[in-house]
Amino acid sequence: TEKAIQSELRTLAENHTSLVIAHRLSTIMDADQIIVMEQGRIVERGTHAELVTRPGTYAHLWQLQLQEEREKPRKAVGSGLGA
């Protein structure tokens, strides 16, 4: 599961420099530095807390993933009704 992967990454990265490439932003929330790249160029850099408060790609993606998480229970309930 995602939580198991995150836990293992934290254990492996402790006291080490690690490079993690992730599509799920929750995987990198605890990183010391997050670098956002577009077309091979760095467009944003900071911690999760810094990046979600700035207008930009990271904040936009974070909002999309939050929305997706909020809709999951509705989709699961709706799929059981023969929709």
Quick: pLDDT tens for 27-41.
Answer: 888 889 999 999 999
- The phi, psi pair for 60, rounded to 5°, reads -65, -45
What mean pLDDT is reported for the chain? 84
Environment class of residue 51 by beta-carbon count within 10 Å: exposed (0-12), middle (13-18) or buried (19+)?
Answer: buried
Structural domain includes residue 42: yes
Our count of domains for the chain comes to 1
Q: What pLDDT sits at residue 9?
A: 76
Q: What pLDDT sits at residue 79?
A: 56
Structural domain includes residue 39: yes
Q: Which residues pair with 27 in a beta bridge?
A: none
Contact criterion met (CB below 8 Å) for 13 and 32: no
pTM score: 0.70
Contact criterion met (CB below 8 Å) for 53 and 59: yes
Domain that holds residue 53: 2-78
